[in-house]
Amino acid sequence: MNKPDEQQAAPVHFMRTERLRAEAAIEPPPAHTGETKKETQVIAIYGKGGIGKSFTLANLSYMMAQQGKKVLLIGCDPKSDTTSLLFGGRACPTIIETSSKKKLAGEPVAIGDVCFKRDGVYAMELGGPEVGRGCGGRGIIHGFELLEKLGFHDWGFDYVLLDFLGDVVCGGFGLPIARDMCQKVIVVASNDLQSLYVANNVCSAVEYFRKLGGNVGVAGMVINKDDGTGEAQAFAQAAGIPVLSAIPANEDIRRKSASYEIIGRPEGQWGPLFGALAQNVADAPPVRPTPLSQEDLLGLFSADTVGRDVVLEPATTADMMGRDIVAKPSLEVIYDEA
């Protein structure tokens, strides 16, 4: 017989499972179709986790602001680290966390609770649920729903930069592409297979939704930690997208970034690099990419790097059981046809 605690736990587990299923089944609201108050470029930046999106965006947004542009940076990564470099390592209260606290207190969320600024850059973090306590993609959708309530479509920015994790394929992270919430996408990658695999997936998503009538295109690629080996450059050429900037693998950049120091300053050593990137991001038109097949993607690398010469050897039942198998006659009774 089941113990009383086990009997009580079963309904609780069932209710939690049903609640999560119901949450995942909720469709996001349709894309905003009202009158545009100001011509704003909304740009979604995708890339593999740890490839340097936050570093790139913090310095890019800072440079844009120094060039006289009004910029809003929105972190859409559950790690909530997009704005950390911009704010010198300080954690920015997330929209999801703040919304939950305000709801419990019976108070509305105000702009000043979730949006902060530094030297002309406005920034906020959507955040995400704790591990095992919700869907990250649904958190993204909830965050954008709250932004709409705060008047997102009436805000007057020149650029809105969205930082999305590229190696997650659930619907929430693909929202800007699927629902035409941005005009163009930029991918951040390096000369390694995993980051280019993610970049290729993003290109595939863009092309998929273009075939369904979408309008989002890829504006180009930023190569971060470029060591000169050329794989990312070759990928961009094969996919039909431009390289907007190649940020070198440089010890000075690594050290300053690790110390939460902004290097995208007009007067600094790296000012011209980020100044050119800002201009390229502004001017690059969205194009339809040509995603690569897995074999073509592997073909960008030497065989000894990715193992293209490896032969797939089928396993046997004996391999799985760890001993030789003796064939036994079947006990199935077979009747002759009448």
What is the structure's pLDDT at 32? 43
The third-level CATH classification (topology) of the domain covering 36-292 is Rossmann fold (3.40.50)
Pick the more confident residue, 65 or 336: 65
The lowest-confidence range among 5-19, 175-189, 226-240 is 5-19
Listed by start position, the domains of the chain span 36-292
Q: In 3-state terms, the chain is what percent helix, strand and coil (to 5)?
A: 40, 15, 45
Taking only the tens place, the pLDDT of each residue in 223-270 is 999 999 999 999 999 999 999 999 999 999 999 999 999 999 999 999
Residue 129 has pLDDT above 80, yes or no: no
Residue 24 has pLDDT above 60, yes or no: no
DSSP states of 75-112: E-STT--TTTTTTTTPPPPBHHHHHHHHHHHT----HH
Can you tell me the distance from the alpha carbon of 238 to that of 300, in angstroms, rounded to the nearest whole number? Answer: 10
Tokens of 225: 């930690």
Which residues face 116 on adjacent strands?
123
What is the structure's pLDDT at 100? 85
Q: Is 253 exposed, middle or buried (0-12, 13-18, 19+ CB in 10 A)?
A: buried
pTM exceeds 0.85: no
pLDDT tier, 11 (very low <50, low <70, confident <90, very high otherwise): low
Taking only the tens place, the pLDDT of each residue in 152-174 is 888 899 999 998 876 665 656 67
Residue 217 has pLDDT above 60, yes or no: yes
Tokens of 285: 């038109």
As annotated, the active-site residues are 48, 53, 79, 167
Can you tell me the distance from the alpha carbon of 215 to that of 190, in angstroms, rounded to the nearest whole number? Answer: 27
Residue 323 has pLDDT above 80, yes or no: no
DSSP states of 133-202: SS-HHHHHHHHHHHHHHTTGGG---SEEEEEEETT--SGGGGHHHHTT-SSEEEEEE-SSHHHHHHHHHH
pLDDT tier, 277 (very low <50, low <70, confident <90, very high otherwise): very high
Taking only the tens place, the pLDDT of each residue in 29-83 is 444 444 434 488 999 999 988 899 999 999 999 999 999 999 999 988 777 778 8
